[in-house]
Amino acid sequence: MALDVDLLRGNFALVLGRNPNLTARFYDVLFERHPEAKPLFGRNSRAAQEQMLAGALSAVMDHLDNAPWLTETLHALGEKHRGYGVTPEMYGWVGDSLLFVLAEASGPDWTPRHQAEWAEAYGVVVALMQS
């Protein structure tokens, strides 16, 4: 299935408009659901980590239709994460937490199609990071 780039970008803009602190909420949810992940984030301050994630999400959204960029960038990012001790299981934790906060911020505008598109997009990101 080809990603619906317009739907994803439109929803991302909506979400950021409703919750500009999306990454802070993401980490709250992740650490609440999986406190065992918290020690992996000790290299940077929480604020720095939130900024890095916000930058990564924005960059991916900007390049959703640029397969070479996604492949190269996400592969390199995956290598870094392996070095940090991130396991395949943890990608599921992150995905569940991310989709939760996207749905939460979208509110009544979140549909089954949004869920499916974001899940597919996250699956592509994970596959590229783990390649």
**Residue 41, pLDDT score:** 86
**Residue 1, pLDDT score:** 56
Report the b/e string of 35-61 with b at 16+ CB within 10 A: eebeeeeeeeeeeebbeebbeebeebb
Given a cut of 90, whether residue 42 has pLDDT beyond it is no
E strand spans, the chain: none
pTM summary value: 0.93
Residue 110 corresponds to which tokens in the numbers above?
A: 């979140």
Run of H or E residues at 115: helix 112-130
pLDDT level of residue 22 (50, 70, 90 thresholds):
very high
Q: What percent of the chain has pLDDT over 70?
A: 99
pLDDT level of residue 44 (50, 70, 90 thresholds):
confident
**Domains of the chain: total:** 1
- How deeply is 103 buried, as exposed, middle or buried, from its count of CB atoms within 10 A (0-12, 13-18, 19+)? middle
**pLDDT per position as a tens digit, 67-114:** 999 999 999 999 999 988 899 999 999 999 999 999 999 999 999 999
Given a cut of 60, whether residue 45 has pLDDT beyond it is yes
Give the pLDDT mean for 35-39: 93
Given a cut of 70, whether residue 5 has pLDDT beyond it is yes
**Residue 79, pLDDT score:** 94
Task: Please give the Cα distance from 47 to 6 (Å, whole number).
Answer: 29
Task: Please give the Cα distance from 123 to 62 (Å, whole number).
Answer: 17
DSSP secondary-structure letter at 65?
T
Domain span at residue 61?
Answer: 5-130
Q: CATH number of the domain at 106, please.
A: 1.10.490.10
